[in-house]
Amino acid sequence: MHDYLTRLREMREKALLGGGQDKISQQHQKGKLTARERLALLLDEGSFQELGALATHDITEFGLDSQRFPGDGVVTGFGRINGRRVAVFAQDFTVLGGSFGTVQSNKICRVQDLAIESGIPLIGLNDSGGARIQEGVRSLAAYGEVFMRNVLASGVIPQISVILGPCAGGAVYSPALMDFVIMTRDTSFMFLTGPEVIKAVTGRDVTVQELGGAEAHSTLSGCTHLVADSEQEAIEEVKVLLSYLPQNNNEDPPRITPYDPPERMDAELDTIIPVEEKEPYDMRRVIEMVFDRDSVLEIHPYFACNAIVGFARLDGYAVGVVGNQPMHLAGSLDIDSSDKISRFTRICDTYNVPIVTFVDTPGFLPGVEQEYGGVIRHGAKIIYGYSAATVPKISIVVRKAIGGAYVAMSSKQLRCDLNFAWPTGQIAVMGPDGAVRILRRKEIKAAKDPVALEREFVQQYREAFFNPYRAADLGQIDEVIEPHETRPRLIRALEVLRTKVQLNPSRKHGLIPS
């Protein structure tokens, strides 16, 4: 064999080993896979085309000259997932803890640029000790290059970040700028400042997992959208997520071969709303019955549980689903659920995914903390998201649609295309008790039997206002439908709306309340 081929092959073999066999064994002992093992799980067999496998750093200070590893701390390139092209990078913890420096940045930026230009999704597998300390401020500049490209790619190509190990300091901002974040339970963590600094500054003791583990980010901070029990499961979640998304913002999501009859009607829907109006029921069950069997992928399932958002399929087509969840906080809207809903509607609009909204909310959650926390500006995001979205939008008022929440949750006035209601719908400015107390206070006070009169007024209000018929009469609801008809009605409605064209006024960008 020619010498030059031998040399290339030796270098390639060395690159395959990352930081070396010992480091690979340590990685396995921690219950983690290597960057290349992860890519092998993620990509269709034989589809990976690597770029930058031989790149090494050129820094000589702090002994780094003796620690050159071909490929540096990241494996980058292209491949296919279920036949669809994707760009990938996987940080290699076996090389100097996957620490991030100029070479890692150059390699990631290269695939970011090519992904944006080719219009294909970008998937990042994160496992890194953060900025490479030896590279000093060069590593900070290197992060900036990646963040800037994350922003340019935003809304153009799907970006999915999977956290499979440490992700600390400024490193968190690349995942945070991407569309979806997936974390593995127990083996990954994300935080800006770690437990030691927090202890020093605030005196508070907190463990790494309590502070930045998947549990914390999936329930409290909302910084991760999905959690997986293993790396294999996390990678599977990437594939499922991608199946609902187009390659870029100029395409529609792929349709899968329909497997659930479009005319299927579930009689359980007709009785799912309890007779007692304050009794909760599970909106998840409604959603499961309406969409194609087992097609629902909930996003943020453990965060702001008073709202449900996720992808599903109708007759094989991808749709985005939003719903209020009466099982939590009676389905009221608060700061976190406003963020959850508005972010999701914008993702759907960006990627040409129609939005179906199931409404059952008594309104925005009253409370001093909510007001001080900015529920006004957070709630405004829901209105912004629905109003600005030009994808097909359909809503179904299932029970309560009261006050500002009626307007915010995909009302006709926010350019919702078709508004349906079930006969159980209660569309009104406010609930009957409050309304009667305001409007009829004097008469009730003067009555011989104030309780009986109040009851009578409440009944009158219910009949006059607290139903879907007034709104249907006024055209705010297009049709009152029987609950079991929902699936075929939605499928037919989306068939009509598939060719919808709607434009927003030309501008640089809007100013979403934040």
Between the alpha carbon of residue 380 and those of residues 149, 213, 261, 514, the distances in Å are: 28, 30, 38, 9
Candidate ranges 77-85, 125-133, 234-242, 291-299; the one touching ligand HXC (CB under 6 A) = 125-133
CA–CA distance, 221 with 483 (Å, rounded to integer): 35
Distant-in-sequence contacts of 497-500, Cβ < 8 A, 24+ apart: 497/354, 497/392, 497/394, 497/417, 497/418, 498/392, 500/390, 500/391, 500/392, 500/417
CB closer to ligand HXC, 212 vs 488: 212
Contacts of 6 (CB under 8 A, 6+ apart): none
Closest CA relative to residue 175, chosen from 188, 379, 43, 106: 188
**Residue of 36, 132, 378, 489 that binds ligand HXC (CB under 6 A):** 132
> Does 129 sit near ligand HXC (CB under 6 A)?
yes
Beta carbon of residue 127, minimum distance to ligand HXC (angstroms, whole number): 9
CB closer to ligand HXC, 190 vs 416: 190
> Does 466 sit near ligand HXC (CB under 6 A)?
no
Closest CA relative to residue 31, chosen from 239, 227, 238, 184: 184
> Does 171 sit near ligand HXC (CB under 6 A)?
yes
Beta carbon of residue 124, minimum distance to ligand HXC (angstroms, whole number): 15
CA–CA distance, 215 with 217 (Å, rounded to integer): 6
**Residue of 121, 124, 169, 310 that binds ligand HXC (CB under 6 A):** 169
Candidate ranges 46-54, 130-138, 244-252, 441-449; the one touching ligand HXC (CB under 6 A) = 130-138
> Does 131 sit near ligand HXC (CB under 6 A)?
yes
Beta carbon of residue 354, minimum distance to ligand HXC (angstroms, whole number): 37
Beta carbon of residue 20, minimum distance to ligand HXC (angstroms, whole number): 10
CA–CA distance, 93 with 74 (Å, rounded to integer): 8
345: left (phi over 0), alpha (psi -120 to 50) or beta: alpha
> Does 319 sit near ligand HXC (CB under 6 A)?
no
Beta carbon of residue 178, minimum distance to ligand HXC (angstroms, whole number): 15
CA–CA distance, 54 with 115 (Å, rounded to integer): 21
> Does 57 sit near ligand HXC (CB under 6 A)?
no
CB closer to ligand HXC, 133 vs 429: 133
Q: Which helix (H) or strand (E) holds 319?
A: strand 317-324
Q: Which helix (H) or strand (E) holds 406?
A: helix 404-408
Candidate ranges 52-60, 168-176, 230-238, 303-311; the one touching ligand HXC (CB under 6 A) = 168-176
CB closer to ligand HXC, 18 vs 392: 18
> Does 301 sit near ligand HXC (CB under 6 A)?
no
> Does 97 sit near ligand HXC (CB under 6 A)?
yes
> Does 164 sit near ligand HXC (CB under 6 A)?
no
CB closer to ligand HXC, 197 vs 240: 197
Candidate ranges 39-47, 131-139, 224-232, 504-512; the one touching ligand HXC (CB under 6 A) = 131-139
DSSP per position, 337-396: HHHHHHHHHHHHHHTT--EEEEEEE--BPP-HHHHHTTHHHHHHHHHHHHHH--S-EEEE
CB-count burial class (<10 Å; 0-12, 13-18, 19+) for 473: exposed
**Residue of 52, 130, 310, 363 that binds ligand HXC (CB under 6 A):** 130
**Considering only residues 67-96, where is the footprint of ligand HXC by CB under 6 A?**
96
CB closer to ligand HXC, 170 vs 222: 170
Q: How many residues bind ligand HXC (CB under 6 A)?
A: 15
CB closer to ligand HXC, 138 vs 492: 138
Active-site residues: which are they?
169-170, 404-405
Contacts of 436 (CB under 8 A, 6+ apart): 444, 454, 457, 458, 461
Candidate ranges 4-12, 77-85, 129-137, 362-370; the one touching ligand HXC (CB under 6 A) = 129-137
Contacts of 201 (CB under 8 A, 6+ apart): 193
Report DSSP state, residue 44.
P
CA–CA distance, 230 with 244 (Å, rounded to integer): 22
> Does 212 sit near ligand HXC (CB under 6 A)?
no
CB closer to ligand HXC, 140 vs 148: 140
CA–CA distance, 176 with 445 (Å, rounded to integer): 56
**Residue of 119, 136, 170, 403 that binds ligand HXC (CB under 6 A):** 170
Beta carbon of residue 53, minimum distance to ligand HXC (angstroms, whole number): 21
* 355-361 and 317-324 beta bridge pairing: parallel
Instruction: Rounding to the nearest 10 degrees, give the CA dihedral for residues 370, 372, 377, 379.
Output: 10
Tokens representing 266 are 């579930």
CA–CA distance, 306 with 438 (Å, rounded to integer): 29
> Does 143 sit near ligand HXC (CB under 6 A)?
yes
**Residue of 8, 140, 429, 496 that binds ligand HXC (CB under 6 A):** 140
**Residue of 90, 108, 168, 312 that binds ligand HXC (CB under 6 A):** 168
**Sites of contact with ligand HXC (CB under 6 A):** 96-97, 99, 129-133, 140, 143, 166, 168-171
